[in-house]
Amino acid sequence: MVEEKAVGATDVEKARAIDPTLEKHAHDADEALKAFDELHGEAIELDEATNRRLLRTIDWHMMPIMCFIYGMNYLDKTTLSYASIMGIKEDLNLVGDQYQWLGSLFYFGETLYFMLVFGGMGAYGHLGYLAWEYPTNRLLQRLPLGKYSGVCILMWGIILSCFAAVKTFSGAIAIRFFLGVFEAAVTPGFALLTSQWYTKREQGSRVNIWFSFNGIGQIVGGCVAYGIAVGTAKHGSSIAPWKIIFLVTGLLTVVLGCVFLWIVPDNQLNARWLKKEDRILAIARVRINQQGIGNKHFKLYQVKEALLDPMSWAFFFYALIVDIPNGGISNFFSLLIKSFGFTDQQSLILGVPGGAVEVVALLLNGYMGHITNQRILCSLGGLVCAMLGMILIVALPQSDNTGRLIGYYMTQASPTAFVALLAMISSNVAGYTKKTTVAAMYLIGYCVGNIIGPQTFRPKDAPRYVPAEITIIVCTGVCIGIMCFIWWWYRKENIRKLEIQSRPDYVRLENQEWLDLTDRENPDFMYSL
């Protein structure tokens, strides 16, 4: 298959002649169109063999570092769960529900008064994450994408290492706050990178792959924490075991941040590992997305469209509701496993298979979604599995430790639908300002859910935490309904767009994919299911 496209300034002139309202789009066109303008109408040929060669090159350079960074992103956030049974509560004199807030406020906050009202500690990291989520999405649009993301990774690694020096409640508050600020860039940044480098068909599987390293992070974290706990118990240590794990994870993040800065470019046009002619071809291969590769202009009308789009709010409420279970389990899984009747050290190592379940679920979901082109429906399997797992934990008698542990492992399949929607932001939201806005809304919902989640695990309900477990079951059921609604809506919109395209008077603008149109503005933009 050979695709030939002649690209040049004449295309913008045609667009203006057909529809003068597109003047603003021509003026604020995507960076890719500016690159093509320099070819002065020269034809671009991209055959199937070249496309496969470029995809292999992109995969080998982009995917490994994104996978490792995302694994560290999850490990860094859940280090607190390991520390909870390695002495941090005693060393920092945490009392009452202060540990719950230590888990919550990493994602919380738009207003600093919350600090004064609750006086809780862990929530302050979530405060930074939420308060910085929309600003960081704007910075991801305005600043060089690769460099900004890399600097944020370096900063969060340095800050995490500093947790080992914390001796007071107030010091932990500061660390958690700024850790949340810099980690806020990772997920939206990776979603933008995926939409920038991969076609719609490729994006779902790639998001599943790099997100699956959450599970790898849990496996590595459990093994590292167990090794530190056993080693320090046997040989002793001059510093507390929980401080060692913060140092290990923080310094490893710094190293990976340096590698990220070296490898990951801002876009195809400054990728040092692509030949000059391949840079243009790498852009040409993603023109089918109808999205471009990046636009630095802030467009208020795209923000308004995002706020009026039902799908933006469906994404937001899904992220909020599904992350109530996530926020609770990710911060309490070590304590939850311990409540099944296992020792502290056993609970550290028994968390490892949960990470393996997540990896398998996400990779299988990505593969099934890729071959069926039904990512949303395929992702429901993980939610159903998670709901059944939590029902087992609630329904089985307290003496059935093995059965309840298996139930916990089943809950680790739940991220499949969250990742499917994250991929939808890459593939189904067009217009660069709109995309960053929707990503911010989605991750703000993620933050709020993670704030609420740990609060459902009340100290008075220990060790079984039955109210929290019932809350998780209800939230998962609601999320299944939201996913079905999203699938129905996108299917209906695709039918409507096909009707528009079939009209005799419909005229497709050449190179409109580079004009930074939104998904609702562009009738040729079809939604992935």
Per-residue pLDDT of the chain (529 residues; tens, 9 = 90+): 334 343 333 333 443 344 444 445 545 555 555 655 555 445 566 788 888 999 999 999 999 999 999 988 877 766 766 666 676 767 777 666 666 665 555 655 333 322 333 233 333 444 445 555 556 656 666 778 888 889 989 998 998 888 888 877 777 777 777 777 777 778 888 888 888 899 888 888 888 899 888 888 878 877 877 787 778 777 777 778 778 888 888 899 999 999 999 999 988 888 889 988 888 888 888 877 666 565 666 788 888 999 999 999 999 999 999 988 877 676 666 667 777 777 777 777 787 888 888 889 988 988 888 888 898 999 999 999 999 998 988 888 878 888 888 888 898 898 899 888 988 888 898 887 888 888 888 878 887 887 787 777 777 776 677 788 888 899 999 999 999 999 999 999 999 989 888 888 877 766 666 677 888 888 888 898 8
Query: How far is it, in rounded angstroms, from Cα 479 to Cα 474?
Result: 9
Residue 360 lies in a domain: yes
Query: How far is it, in rounded angstroms, from Cα 322 to Cα 298?
Result: 30
Query: How far is it, in rounded angstroms, from Cα 320 to Cα 340?
Result: 28
Residue 519 lies in a domain: no
Provide the strand spans (E) within 400-509: none
Longest CA pairwise span in the chain (Å): 80
Q: Which residue has the tokens 């490892």?
A: 352
Residue 20 lies in a domain: yes
User: To which H or E segment does residue 3 belong?
Assistant: strand 2-6
Nearest to 368 by CA among 386, 380, 358: 380
Residue 49 lies in a domain: yes
Residue 522 lies in a domain: no
Query: How far is it, in rounded angstroms, from Cα 443 to Cα 184?
Result: 9
Residue 318 lies in a domain: yes
Q: Please state the separation of Cα 253 from the chain's center in Å.
A: 17
Query: How far is it, in rounded angstroms, from Cα 271 to Cα 281?
Result: 12
Count: domains in the chain:
1
What is the tally of helices (H) and strands (E) in the chain? 23, 2
Q: CA angle at residue 477 from 474 to 482, to 5 degrees?
A: 125
Q: Is 444 helix (H, G, I), strand (E, B) or coil?
A: helix
Residue 520 lies in a domain: no
Query: How far is it, in rounded angstroms, from Cα 157 to Cα 72?
Result: 9
Contact status, residue 483 vs residue 471, Cβ threshold 8 Å: no
Contact status, residue 293 vs residue 30, Cβ threshold 8 Å: yes
Residue 339 lies in a domain: yes
DSSP-H helix ranges across 105-240: 113-118, 123-142, 145-162, 169-183, 186-197, 200-235
Tokens of 484: 């079905």
Contact status, residue 409 vs residue 350, Cβ threshold 8 Å: no
- pTM for the structure as a whole: 0.73
Contact status, residue 148 vs residue 252, Cβ threshold 8 Å: no
CA atoms within 13 A on the CB side of 375: 30
Residue 345's domain spans which residues? 2-514
What's the CATH number where 341 sits? 1.20.1250.20
